[in-house]
């Protein structure tokens, strides 16, 4: 596989991934998924934070809404853009680690064995929003260590800040990166003093508006995250939840491990922690996962599966680096076969589940309900208050693009403003 061939395969893979995972949900779903609707609801009433998450996902979907309106395909497409940018970041990093386009390509292709990067990606949410920034933060951390250029530190600070603005769990990667710099500085790596202190202030500058918002809103987003994690149970939670976490992670990685099995001739390897590249990979891949496990153990916290979405982006790079001497690049037919099966099986499975199961959020008749509401209310609906699902769907589907004021006190009922004047409360059961 020549270098030019590797580039072509990567290009066709990325394009195919975007097309397949845009079309599969668009053709099989009747409505956008919940998290995407919620992000769109936030986007209709932008702020520097929201009750559940920091604001970046809302900013992004609002840009797409201004460009494409309420076209469902656009938000599936948006999600895949974030995915393939992350893939490209993984490729560029892996290329530097291996000095080989072939191995870099394999590092990316292996990720199709992890369902975080295909099956769950149609739902654009804070987990997907992290992906490109996670990959690029790792890539520019490596460039900072290797080249010590000021521009790389600027970009590191930029992507780290945007990553935290996507989701707070991005901080687990930041901790891993701090450990990277500690390791290399103790190893005698020469880094210009002025360069080392570039990234941090840029990250803080990007976060500053959100941090101000947090203080003004009593840190509501942080308390929401802690509440979601639990951690108020008994002693057994400190044992049970970590075990559940480990079990789920192993289950998630089975297709990935299967693909790796067909790539590696023998499970023969030697871990050398004097190898700087290996240490870097461990600190940016294994360390954040271990810290999540440790969090579950210490707090007795329930780690939700989807929270781990960006954590495995460099899993393929790590596996190939450990077993690189056992990979026969001249005999890749078995791997290619398994890859193609998974690559095609996943979207067909997704579409089949979406079509055959009719009780999902994505089966909701959001457009129909919105048209019925508009027929009930004469005039331009300018604001809607209600829960993130019902009100969020109304705000997305209505042509007037109302401001969405999220409030869960009314169940599925909504408060309506017409031409900026309060209209009244409308019972959901009356919208028919």
Q: Which of the listed residues 356, 375, 396 is the one where a domain comes to its end?
A: 356
Number of domains in the chain: 2
Say if residue 1's pLDDT is above 60. Answer: no
Query: Quick one: pLDDT at residue 328?
Result: 80
Is the same domain home to 296 and 193? Answer: yes
pLDDT above 70 covers a percentage of the chain that reads: 98
pTM of the model: 0.95
What's the rounded Cα separation, in Å, for the pair 382 and 393?
14
Is the same domain home to 232 and 330? Answer: yes
Count Cβ atoms within 10 A of the Cβ of residue 197 and give its class: 0-12 exposed, 13-18 middle, 19 or more buried: exposed
Is the same domain home to 315 and 410? Answer: no
Say if residue 191's pLDDT is above 90. Answer: no
Is the same domain home to 347 and 377? Answer: no
Query: Quick one: pLDDT at residue 356?
Result: 92
Convert the pLDDT of each residue in 79-120 to its tens digit. Answer: 999 999 999 999 999 999 999 999 999 999 999 999 999 999
Convert the pLDDT of each residue in 292-323 to its tens digit. Answer: 999 999 888 888 999 999 999 999 999 999 99
Is the same domain home to 401 and 258? Answer: no
237 neighbors 230 (Cβ within 8 angstroms): yes
Is the same domain home to 104 and 203? Answer: yes
Is the same domain home to 45 and 167? Answer: yes
Query: Quick one: pLDDT at residue 130?
Result: 98
What's the rounded Cα separation, in Å, for the pair 317 and 377?
56
Say if residue 9's pLDDT is above 90. Answer: yes
Q: Which of the listed residues 333, 356, 379 is the one where a domain comes to its end?
A: 356
The pair of three-digit structure tokens given for residue 18, joined into one six-digit string: 């975007």
**Letter string b/e over residues 328-349, b meaning 16 or more CB atoms within 10 A of that residue's CB:** eeeebeebeebbeebbeebbee
Is the same domain home to 323 and 383? Answer: no
Q: What is the 3-state secondary structure (H, E, C) of the chain?
A: CCHHHHHHHHHHHHHHHHHHHHHHHHHHCCCCCHHHHHHHHHHCCCCCCCCCCCCHHHHHHHHHHHHHCCCHHHHHHHHHHHHHHHHHHHHHHHHHHHCCHHHHHHHHHHHHHCHHHCCCCCCCCHHHHHHHHHHHHHHHHHHHHHHCCHHHHHHHHHHHHHHHHHCHHHHHHHHHHHHHHHHHHHCCCCCCHHHHCCHHHHHHHHHHHHHHHHHHCCCHHHHHHHHHHECCCCCCHHHHHHHHHHHHHHHHCHHHHHHHHHHECCCCCCCCCCCHHHHHHHHHHHHHHHHHHHHHHHHCECCCHHHHHHHHCCHHHHHHHHCHHHECCCCCHHHHHHHHHHHHHHHHHHHHHHHHCCCCHHHCCHHHHHHHHHHHCCCCEEEEEECCCHHHHHHHHCCCCCEEEECHHHCCCEEEEECCEEEEEECHHHCC
Query: Quick one: pLDDT at residue 193?
Result: 74
Query: Quick one: pLDDT at residue 90?
Result: 98
55 neighbors 49 (Cβ within 8 angstroms): yes
Is the same domain home to 135 and 53? Answer: yes
Residues 6+ apart with CB under 8 A from 166: 54, 56, 57, 126, 129, 130, 133
Is the same domain home to 10 and 157? Answer: yes
- Average pLDDT along the chain: 93
Q: Which of the listed residues 356, 373, 399 is the one where a domain comes to its end?
A: 356
Which range marks the domain in which residue 395 is found? 365-430
Is the same domain home to 266 and 371? Answer: no
What's the rounded Cα separation, in Å, for the pair 213 and 388?
21
Say if residue 14's pLDDT is above 80. Answer: yes
Is the same domain home to 251 and 290? Answer: yes
Convert the pLDDT of each residue in 372-416 to its tens digit. Answer: 999 999 899 999 999 999 999 999 999 999 999 999 899 999 999
Convert the pLDDT of each residue in 210-246 to its tens digit. Answer: 999 999 999 999 888 777 766 556 778 888 999 999 9
């Amino acid at each position: 596989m020549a270098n030019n061939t590797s580039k072509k395969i990567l290009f066709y893979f990325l394009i195919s991934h975007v097309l397949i995972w845009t079309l599969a949900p668009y053709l099989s779903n009747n409505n956008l998924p919940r998290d995407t609707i919620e992000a769109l609801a936030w986007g209709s009433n932008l702020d520097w934070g929201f009750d559940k998450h920091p604001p970046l996902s809302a900013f992004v979907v609002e840009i797409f809404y201004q460009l494409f309106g309420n076209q469902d395909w656009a938000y599936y497409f948006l999600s895949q853009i974030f995915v393939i940018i992350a893939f490209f970041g993984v490729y560029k990093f892996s290329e530097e680690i291996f000095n080989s386009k072939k191995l870099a390509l394999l590092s990316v292709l292996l990720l199709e064995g992890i369902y975080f990067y295909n099956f769950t990606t149609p739902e654009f949410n804070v987990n997907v929003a992290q992906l490109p920034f996670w990959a690029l933060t790792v890539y520019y951390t490596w460039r900072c260590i290797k080249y010590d250029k000021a521009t790389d530190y600027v970009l590191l600070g930029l992507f780290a800040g945007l990553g935290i603005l996507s989701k707070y769990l991005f901080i687990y990667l930041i901790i891993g990166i701090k450990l990277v710099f500690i390791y290399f500085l103790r190893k005698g790596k020469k880094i210009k003093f002025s360069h080392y202190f570039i990234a941090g202030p840029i990250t803080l500058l990007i976060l500053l508006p959100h941090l101000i918002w947090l203080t003004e809103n009593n840190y509501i987003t942080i308390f929401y995250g802690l509440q979601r994690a639990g951690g108020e149970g008994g002693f057994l939670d400190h044992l049970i939840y970590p075990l559940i976490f480990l079990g789920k992670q192993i289950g998630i990685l089975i297709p990935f491990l299967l693909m790796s099995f067909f790539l590696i001739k023998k499970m023969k390897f030697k871990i050398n922690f004097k190898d700087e590249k290996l240490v870097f990979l461990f600190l940016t891949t294994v360390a954040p996962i271990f810290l999540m496990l440790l969090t579950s153990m210490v707090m007795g916290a329930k780690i939700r599966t989807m929270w781990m979405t960006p954590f495995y982006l460099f899993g393929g790079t790590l596996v190939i680096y450990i077993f690189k001497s056992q990979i026969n690049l001249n005999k890749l037919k078995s791997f290619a076969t398994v890859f193609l099966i998974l690559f095609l099986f996943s979207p067909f499975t997704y579409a089949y589940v979406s079509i055959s199961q009719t009780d999902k959020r994505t089966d909701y008749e959001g457009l129909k309900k919105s048209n019925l509401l508009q027929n009930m209310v004469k005039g331009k609906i300018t604001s809607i208050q209600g829960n993130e699902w019902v009100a969020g769907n109304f705000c997305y589907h209505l042509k007037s693009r109302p401001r969405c004021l999220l409030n869960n006190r009314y169940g599925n009922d909504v408060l309506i403003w017409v031409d900026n004047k309060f209209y009244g409360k409308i019972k959901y059961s009356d919208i028919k």
